[in-house]
Structures are given as structure tokens and as C-alpha cells.
Amino acid sequence: MARFDDSRPEMSAEEFRLLRDHVYSHCGILVHEDMKFVMERRLWPRLEALGVSDFSVYHRYLRYDANRHAELEAAVESLTTHETYFFREPSQLKAFREELLPLLEKRNARTKRLRLWSAGCSSGEEAYTLAMLLKDERRFEDWDVEVYGSDISRRVLSMARSAEYGPSALRATSADLLERFFVPAGKAKVRVRDDVRSMVSFGHHNLLDEAGSQLVMKMDAVFCRNVMIYFDQSARRRVLRILRDRLVPGGYLLLGHSENLLNLGADFELVHLRGDLVYRRPELTGGEAR
Amino acid sequence: MSHLPVFPAEEERYRSLQELDPRGGGSLDVLVAGLHDESWRVRHAAAEGLQRLSSPTDVALRLVDVLGERGETGARNAAAEALVGLGLAALGPLVKLLGHPDPDQRKFAADILGQLGLHAAEAPLVQALEDPDLNVRVAVSEALGRVGSEHGARALERLLNDAEPLLRLSALEGLVLLRRPPPLPVVVSLLDDTRLRRSAFRALGLIPQVAATELLCQGLESSTRSVREAALAALGMQASLVESARRGELEAVIHAALRRLPDAVARLAQALESEDVTVRAGALLAVAALGEASLAVPVAEAAREDRLLRDVLSTLGRLGAEGGRTLLAGMSDLSAPARAAAAEALVDLVDETSVTPLCALLEWAEDDLRGVVVRALGRTRSPEAASPLVDLLRDSATAGAATRALGVLAGSCRGAVLAALEEAVARRATPVAVAALGRVGGAPALPSLRKLARDVDPRWRAAAVEVAGEVDGGVGRELARAALADEAAPVRAAGARAMGRLGGSEAGALLRSALQDEESSVRRAAVDAVGESGATDRVAELEPLVRHPDGALAVAAVRALSRLGRVGARVLREASNHPDAEVVKAVLSAGAVSREGVALAESLLEHPHWDVRAAAARVLGESGGPESLGPTRRALEAESDALARQALADAVARLSRR
């Protein structure tokens, strides 16, 4: 009988650099020098899934294999395992609901149209959460409302479209919300109700892709929470330029609670809400093209 | 002086500064005026714009003037920001400012010099420690903590005896920042001063001695939370400095100290929630020393900070089966990074009782997490894990991990694993089960494998061919030969791989048609197989492939030729000109021991890719003679990439000994 070894390979400094640079050139996500251990651990499951023996072979797989694009997306996803669950950062959502939504209602009263973007939406929890908040707000009942979720990983987008979630995604969802917005979907899972799903669309989008960003409609607010942390300074600036471009003048940018735009230029104004700090694309002025 | 045009809107002023041509006349004046704008956005745009101007020394001098404008706080701060951004050009004017009659100006200069972080500021800062103004001296000692080295550290150490407590404090903090702690007896003498105690703890953390650990453990007993947390943070630092062989000694001291504390567990739980990552690192060490399984969940949650992942895994690994059960029970409430860390740790913590909760976890866990859970199932040593693992073979995301896990599980319960696999093959659950069956089942599985190699579905044929050779060479060779003539490309590729592993005198002849296959996947498998089987009769077909535009095929050809020992001068030359750096690295490695390979490595020391330069350096270190030392040394002097430098430095060291 064959002997089985489930030990795992170590990542050399050179392998780390090659993989790190490969990921960076693909999507601008920077794995810092001191994160070799983390990168090694996060990519192990990928090596395991592919039956690849070490990180050099994995690097060559990412360079040459017919499946390399999908694998690179999977690698990026593994490296950016950011937290995502329904109704995350409730204080920010409260401020959005109680302070920003009334402002947006007033601004868009004529068009009765509202567009929100969950940029880096992962498996869709944030996009659906926003749709649920809007659904709860009777004031938008006869409006044309859409939440757009985008991510660089096709795999997570497929999960987002399926709208099925396990207990971990629901750990901050009250029983009342669970009852109103979800239906059972087999063992240990629930599915987002169709009326909420119909408010949300998803798309594949690299936040650094300026040309691709033109496909995103103009937004009234962008949620880009805990995404910028993965980029270096120059990539952050590029992303911010794109987000600014996709926001209507006066539109809002909401970042994660540990993120800010310090040292990233001043393309946005800081807005002090009672319950949160958000950023706003400055209103058009006479000198700027409409 | 030209002034910023007065626009009604902040946005227009901001835009006008952003779009200002730095080469335009008067741009310095406009930007300096922008530093005085009422809007922070405009001031920030001005500070950034000043860093783009072509005469940084003139800019620095103007900015130093702005620092002197009392009452203009916004402009002064923006000027300081711009000076930091100017880098070296700001050094001279700021050093000169250290001699300004106004102590406020001197303090500003020291602050900015600290932020600049230039080592060249050390000597003037040390001199400025003689400043008559206490606030300036404090700012200078803080700045030295950021830019100093040995000289600065000695100067700071002398301040530890100063009569001014504020100066003693900033000096001690500076030494900690420089990671140059004063001698232990000096630190001990500072512990009595409550104002210095936390900084003294930090300094103790930099001293990897048991006596320092004991002092820090006294801090754990403090009733003041900030003192306890400072002690914990210092313990974490100390653990990172102490060599692994002495870590047990350190943990034994911590264990004994925590045992004396009735509320140690509550205190550690609180510390694991601290905002300060260094406190959490220390708390992880303390939990590991205590072996407190009830803290498994907050320990896992510390993995939300990526930098703590190693410590989290190490600590969870110390919490035993009880810790594993605690984690499994709490998985659905953990954050995603904590779940990933917990699953990773569970691989070593599971036992027979873990099968049911692990299977429950598989119902909802994310793909990457599922891979780890599958691995954990293989470690449970429970026959009940066999059937769920076989089911997981059907999912491509978990099939590889499940195959290996079944192999590991078979080490303790082979019968159950084999029965589950045979049943899966019988009901044709997934071709992946064939590989597992062959590997676990051995010779008794051969009749099944022969039958499956004739299956109507090419996936089953390929799976059977691939594994048969691992079970029996004769049968494997027979099935591989037939597979090479199969009408399905995946089966031909499997045949080529199997033939490569089995080798034999006929391998080269049998692989010939596969080398010219219409499918690139089959060709690549055949190239690998030629190298693996030692089929030197196929060298002529491999040589032209090193120039192939498909980098993967070219790399495979170089590697195969290398295994056959047939990397000649022509192959070296042709492959080293390939546009793909991976091919160049492959040929460097292939030719490493030859005279031509050494010459090639020397010629590639200036290659545009850092990894090629590093690979060339390794070849020279391995095989170069004394004549390679000169070129390698010159390359080292010119090298700017850290990893390539390391490889070149290693090569120079090795060559110098020859």
C-alpha cells in the first residue's frame, strides 16, 4: 500500500516574492513582506485542491496552466479572506439608513432612482443587506432602486447569485430579519427571498480596471468596506479615482470602520454624520464639466 | 508674489492646485499660498504639489519660512507635511533650523527630522540634546528614537540619569524604538518610577533573559490594567526574540506566575480583546503557557489580525483535544479569519469524537475551509470518517484533499476506507475514487483497475491507467501502452504520465507519438515523461522545444533534458535567450554544474528579472571557480533588489572560500 503524507510544503522567500508579484500585477493587491507565513497558510488549500506539490509548481501553474485565470482568482480570494456577513458594522448601517438615505431621498426626489454599489462584495452579504435596508424603508417603495455588487472573483460571484448562506453569514442577523428576508434552503442553509434578490445585480469587476469601470453605472453611494486594506498606496489612489468617477457629484463613499483616506489625496470631502464618518464626492462647480 | 485666484468654491481651488503645472512660472508662490487656504483639502493639495516641483532645495527653504509663521497652524502643519515628503532635500534646512533662536522652531525641526527618518540627521540631533529648552530636548530624543543607531542610543542612555522625568521617559522610549535596551540593572532601577514603568516594561521585553521575564510576570499581577497590558506586550516581544530552545523556560516562568493569579483567565480574555496588537500577542503567549482550553475561541479570534496568525496557531495547538472541542462547538460564531485559523488548528486537535461536528461544519463551510476540515477528518482515526470522505471525492474542490485524507485515515482503519471506496466505485460515484482505491487497496484492486481501464467513460479509463502503475509495474505498463493509443486526449495524457513513472527500455519508443500529439496537454505530459523515464532516445525531439513560444512547454523540455543529462551548449544558449524568465531560470538550474553553465550564469548577472539574477548567483555560488568572484562581487555592488543581493552575497561568500 502507498504511504500517505499530508504534510505541507514551506514557501521560500523567492517563491513568496514571485507569487506576491504575480498577484500584485494581476489586481494591485499587495501582500506585505512580513506576511509570508500568512500567504503560505492561505494558499495551502489551493495547492491541496490542485494536488500541487510545492509553491514553485503552483507559481508555474498560475503562469502556464489553461485554468490559470480561474486559479489566480481563487488565489486572490484566499489571500483576501475578509469578513463578510449580513448586517455587518451595524452602527454604520444605522447611520446610512437614518442619515444618508433621507438625504438621498431628497436629492433624487425628481428621478425617484437610487443606485448603490457594493464594491468588493465577496459572496454578496453586503449587497443583500443594503437591499434589505432599502426594502425596510417604505419611502423607496415606488422607486427605481438597484444595488450592484461587484467582485474580482467569479467564484464568489456565483455564490452571491445563488444567495444561499450558512449560519456564519447570519450571526448578526436577528430572528425577525431572518424571518422576513430569508427562506430555508436545505440543511443548515437559508436563501435570500426573491423580492430582495430582484433588487440586486452582480458583475465581475477588478477595482483597478479603469476601462471596465465604465460599465458600472453612476452611483449614489458606494460601499467599499475592508477592501482598500489589501492595496498599496498607489493602487488605493487608482481605486479611489475610479470610485470617485463612478459616483454622482455629491455621492457618498463608505469605507470600513478601520479605514480612512489619510495620505491618499483629498478627492473626497469628509462628512461628519451623527453616527459615522463618511466621504463625499464634492458637488460640481462652475469650472468642472457636468 | 502671485496669489491663488479667489474662487468661490473650495472644489475649484482644490482642482486648480491639482492641475497646476509644476514647471510653470510662479507655481512655488501659488502652492505656498495654497498652504494657507482655509480648507484642509486645498492645503493638502498644495503640500502634495510642492513635492512635485523641480527645485526641492528652494522649496524646502520656503517651507521652513512657513514653519515660522506663528498663528498659522494649518499652514505650518501643511508645510511640515510637505517637508517630510521632500526627503533628503529638507535635511539641510531643517538641521539649520535646529539652531534657530526660537525654541518653538527648533522643536518643529526636531519633530520633522524624526518623521523624515534619515540616519544622516543622527549627529546633529545628538548635538541638539544639549539644547537649553526642555521641550526641544524631549522632541530631539523622540526623533533620535526614529533615526538613531549606536551613537544616538549611547546619547539617549546618558539621559536616563537626567533630573527631568519627561526627558528620562522620552529617552527610554527612544531606546525602545531603536530596539537597543539599556542593561538590565538600569531598567530595573527605572521600574520604581511609576511614570517610567510602562516604558521600562517595553525595554524589558527587548532583553531575552529569564530575570527579565520574572520581572515582567510581576507586572502581570498588577491591579492596573495598563501595567498588566504593558507587561503582556513585553512578554510577547521577548518570546519573539528568544531562541526556540529557550522558549519553554520562558513559558514555565509565565505559567507559574499565572497560576498564582486567581483571575488569570478573565484577565487574559480581556487582554485578547485589547486594541493593541502587541498586548494580544503577549496574551496569546500567556494562554499557551497556561494551556487554558476555555480561551480557544478568543484565541482564534485574535487571527483577525493577520500578523498574529502564527501565534494563534501555535497557541491553539497547545490547547489539546478539549480546545479542539471548544472550537468545533463555536465555529459558526467565529469570524472568517478565526474560522480559518481554528480549522487549521483542528487538524492537530481532532480525535474520534470529532467526526460528527466536522461533518456538520462541512454542510456550510466555505470551500477553502472545507479543504482543511477534510484534512482534519483524515486525522480523526475513526472508521466513521471513511464514508463522508469518500462522498467528498465527488466535489472537485475537495477531491484532492479527500484522497489524501483517505490515505491518512487508512493508516488507522484500512478496512473501513477500502470498503467505502469499493462501494463508491461500484456505484460509479466518481473517477477520483479509483485513484484512492488503487493507492489504498494495492494489488487486490488490480482486477477492478483492469476493468475500469476499458470503461466507456474516458474519465474512468484515465483514472485507472494513472493509478495502476503505482500498484503493479507490469500491469501499469500494459495499461499505459494501450492508453497512449486511446482516442481521448485525457487518457493519452494519463498514459504518458504513467509511462514516465514506470520507465523501461521501451518508454522512449512508446512516447514518440505522444510527443507529436495534436493536443498540447498530451505533448507536455509526454515531454515530462521522457525526462522522468530516462528515454535518451528522444533527445532530438526535445531539443527544439526549448525555443518553443509556449513557456510551459519550453520549461518542460529544459527540465526533461536536464534529467537526461543532455543539456549541451546549444540548449543552454537557446533557452537562455527565451523571453520567458521561467525558461531562463530552468536552463540555469539545468546547466548549473557545467563550465558552460557557469559562463551562462555570469552572463545573466545583469538580466532584467531579479529572479534570474538570483538564480545566476546561486549557480555561481554552487559551481563557479575563483574567476567568478570578480563578476559576482561587481554584480553585488550594483544590485538593488534585496533577494538578488542576498543570493549574490551568499555566492560571494562561497566563492571567497574557494
- pTM for this one? 0.74
pLDDT at A155 over 50: yes
Q: What is the CATH number that goes with domain A90-280?
A: 3.40.50.150
Structure confidence at residue B446 (pLDDT): 93
Helices and strands in chain A: count of H runs, count of E runs: 12, 10
Residue owning grid cell 503560505: A40
**Which among A46, A88, A115, A151 is annotated as catalytic?**
A151
**Does the distance separating the beta carbons of A4 and B439 come in below 8 Å?**
yes
pLDDT at position B1: 44
**Contact call for A287 and B340, based on CB within 8 A:** no
Mean pLDDT of chain B: 92
Distance CA A1, CA B445 (A): 11
Residue-averaged pLDDT of chain A: 89
**Under a CB-based contact definition with an 8 Å cutoff, are residues B216 and B231 in contact?**
yes
- d(CA B276, CA B265) in angstroms, rounded, equals 19
Cα separation of B365 and B372, whole Å? Answer: 10
Distances (CA, A) of A16 to A10, A13, A59: 10, 5, 10
Which residues in A125-145 are b (16+ Cβ under 10 Å) and which e? bbbbbbbbbbbebeebeebeb
Contact B17, B34 (CB under 8 A): yes
Nearest alpha carbon to residue B582 among B562, B617, B609, B600: B609
Q: Is A66 on the interface with B (CB under 8 A)?
A: yes
* Confidence band, pLDDT 50/70/90 cuts, at residue A285: low
Domain layout of chain A by residue ranges: 13-79, 90-280
> Mapping DSSP to helix (H, G, I), strand (E, B) and coil, where does residue B291 land?
coil
At A287, the pLDDT band (50, 70, 90 cuts) reads very low
Are both A13-79 and A90-280 of the same fold?
A: no
Q: Compute the distance between CA of residue B281 and CA of residue B275 in angstroms, rounded to an integer.
A: 11
- Alpha-carbon Rg for chain B, nearest whole angstrom, is 34
| Boundary of a domain, candidates B399, B425, B441 | B441
Residues B404, A38: C-beta atoms closer than 8 Å? no
CA proximity to A132, closest of A158, A170, A168: A170
Name the helix (H) or strand (E) containing A151. strand A144-151
- For the packed helices B629-638 and B642-656, what is the interaxial angle rounded to 10 degrees? 150
- The answer, for A41 touching chain B at a CB cutoff of 8 Å, is yes
- What is residue B5's predicted lDDT score, i.e. its pLDDT? 47
Q: Indicate the helix (H) or strand (E) that contains B298.
A: helix B296-301
What is the reported pLDDT for B583?
Answer: 95
Considering only CB atoms, A171 lies closest to which of B310, B333, B363, namely: B333
In Å, how far is A115's CA from the nearest CA of chain B? Answer: 24
pLDDT of residue B480: 95
Q: Is the dihedral of CA A5, B521, A152, A39 positive or negative?
A: positive
pLDDT value at A115 more than 90: yes
Interface test with A, best of B331, B367, B398 (most A CBs within 10 A): B367
Lookup: cell for B365: 463551510
User: Is residue B365 in some structural domain?
Assistant: yes
Confidence of residue A150 (pLDDT cuts 50, 70, 90): very high
Shortest distance, CA A48 to any CA of chain B (angstroms): 6
DSSP string, A199-217: TEEEEE--TT-HHHHTTSP
In tens, the pLDDT along B311-326 reads 999 999 999 999 999 9
**DSSP annotation string for B38-106:** SSHHHHHHHHHHHTTSS-HHHHHHHHHHHHT-TT-HHHHHHHHHHHHHHTHHHHHHHHHHTT-S-HHHH
Cell of B538: 528522444
**How would residue A286 be classed by pLDDT, with cut points 50, 70 and 90?**
low
CB-based contact, A17 to chain B, within 8 Å? yes
Question: Do B439 and A6 count as a contact with CB atoms less than 8 A apart?
Answer: no
pLDDT at residue A248 greater than cutoff 50: yes
Residue with cell 475592508: A226
How much is the average pLDDT of B417-429? 93
What's the confidence (pLDDT) of residue A94?
94
Confirm or reject contact between A13 and chain B (CB < 8 A): yes
ipTM: 0.71
Report pLDDT digits (tens) over A250-277: 999 999 887 888 777 778 988 999 888 8
Per-residue pLDDT band for B396 (boundaries 50, 70, 90) equals confident
Residue B601's domain spans which residues? 592-658
Cβ pair A189, A102 in contact under 8 A:
no
Q: Which amino acid, A199?
A: M
Per residue in A85-104, pLDDT (tens digit) is 999 989 999 999 999 999 99
pLDDT at res. A4? 54
pLDDT given at position A203: 92
pLDDT at residue B324, as a whole number: 93
Are B134 and B164 in contact, with CB atoms under 8 Å apart? yes
The number of angstroms, rounded, from the C-alpha of A255 to the middle of its chain's C-alpha atoms is 11
Q: Are B303 and B276 in contact (CB under 8 A)?
A: no
List the grid coordinates of A153: 472573483
pLDDT exceeds cutoff 50 at A143? yes
pLDDT at B7 over 70: no
Q: Is the pLDDT of residue A77 over 90?
A: no
Residues A156 and A204: their CA atoms lie apart, in Å, by: 10
CB B63 within 8 A of CB B90: yes
Catalytic, A42? Answer yes
* A20-65 pLDDT per residue, tens: 999 998 888 889 888 999 999 989 888 988 888 899 999 999 999 8
Whether residue B652 lies inside any domain: the answer is: yes
Nearest CA-CA partner of B633 in B618, B655, B611:
B655
Q: Is A37 on the interface with B (CB under 8 A)?
A: yes
In a domain, B393, yes or no: yes
Q: Hey, CA dihedral for B488, B491, B496, B502, is it positive or negative?
A: negative
Nearest CB partner across the interface for B397, out of A49, A65, A266: A49
Phi, psi of B304 (to 5 degrees): -60, -25
DSSP H helices, B472-519, are: 473-483, 489-502, 507-515
**What does residue A105 show for φ and ψ, rounded to 5 degrees?**
-60, -45
Burial class of residue B509, CB neighbours in 10 A (0-12, 13-18, 19+): exposed
Closest CA to B592 of B627, B617, B610, B560: B617
How many Å apart are CA A88 and CA A124, to the nearest integer? 12
| Residue in the structure block whose three cell numbers are 435596508 | A133
B82 with B50: CB under 8 angstroms?
yes
**Number of structural domains, chain B?**
2
Residues 238-267 of A with CB under 8 A from B: 265-266
Residue B366 lies in a domain: yes
User: Residues A116, A148: contact at Cβ < 8 Å?
Assistant: yes
Among A9, A76, A207, residue whose Cα is nearest residue B368: A76
CB-based contact, B334 to chain A, within 8 Å: yes
Which residues neighbour A2 within 8 Å (Cβ) at sequence distance 6 or greater?
A: B407, B439, B440, B442, B470
Mean pLDDT of B562-574: 92
| Distance set, CA A207 to CA A27, A226, A235, B388, B604 (Å) | 8, 13, 9, 39, 37
Mean pLDDT of B128-140: 96
CATH class of A13-79: mainly alpha
SS3 A251: strand
Query: Taking CA atoms, what residue in B is nearest to A262?
Result: B44
pLDDT digit string, tens, across residues B241-300: 888 888 889 999 999 999 999 899 999 999 999 989 999 999 999 999 999 999 999 999
Helices B432-441 and B458-471: crossing angle, nearest 10°?
Answer: 20
B388: closest CA among B412, B364, B356?
A: B356
CB atoms within 10 A of CB B646: 16
Q: Does B394 touch chain A (CB under 8 A)?
A: no
Mean pLDDT of B48-75: 92
Q: Which residue has the cell 514506470?
A: B502
Q: How confident is the model at residue B366 (pLDDT cuts 50, 70, 90)?
A: confident
What does the alpha-carbon distance between residue B40 and residue B78 come to, in Å, rounded to a whole number? 9
Is residue B373 predicted with pLDDT exceeding 70?
A: yes
B407 in contact with A at a CB cutoff of 8 Å? Answer: yes
Q: What is the DSSP string of B539-550?
A: HHHHGGGGG-SS
* DSSP per-residue codes, A264-282: S-SSSEEEE-SS-EEEEPP
Among the ranges given (A113-127, B97-111, B220-234), the one the predictor scored with the smallest mean pLDDT: B220-234
Rounded Cα–Cα distance for residues B503 and A255 (Å): 59
User: Of the candidates B304, B309, B364, which has its C-beta nearest A166's C-beta?
Assistant: B364
Secondary structure letter of residue A9 according to DSSP: P
User: Would you call A231 helix, strand, or coil by DSSP?
Assistant: strand
Taking an 8 Å cut-off on Cβ atoms, the answer to whether A37 and B309 are in contact is: yes
Sequence-distant (≥ 6) Cβ neighbours of residue B433 within 8 angstroms: B390, B393, B421, B424, B425
* Short-list B451, B457, B440, B456, CA closest to B479: B451
Task: Of B539, B447, B540, B529, give the one whose Cα is nearest residue B496.
Answer: B529
CA distance B199 to B146: 16
B4 pLDDT above the threshold of 90: no
Residue B391 falls within a domain, yes or no? yes
The answer to whether residue B648 is domain-embedded is yes
CA-wise closest residue to B538 among B570, B563, B573: B563
Q: Is A151 a catalytic residue?
A: yes
**Cα–Cα distance for residue pair B120/B116, rounded to 1 Å:** 10
Is the CB of residue B270 less than 8 Å from the CB of residue B231?
no
Q: How many CB atoms lie within 10 A of CB B543?
A: 18
HSE-CB of A100 using CA atoms within 13 angstroms: 30
User: Buried (b) or exposed (e) across A217-248, using 16+ Cβ within 10 A?
Assistant: eebbbbbbbbbbebbeeebbbbbbebbbebbb
Cell of B388: 463522508
Q: Does B530 map to a domain?
A: no
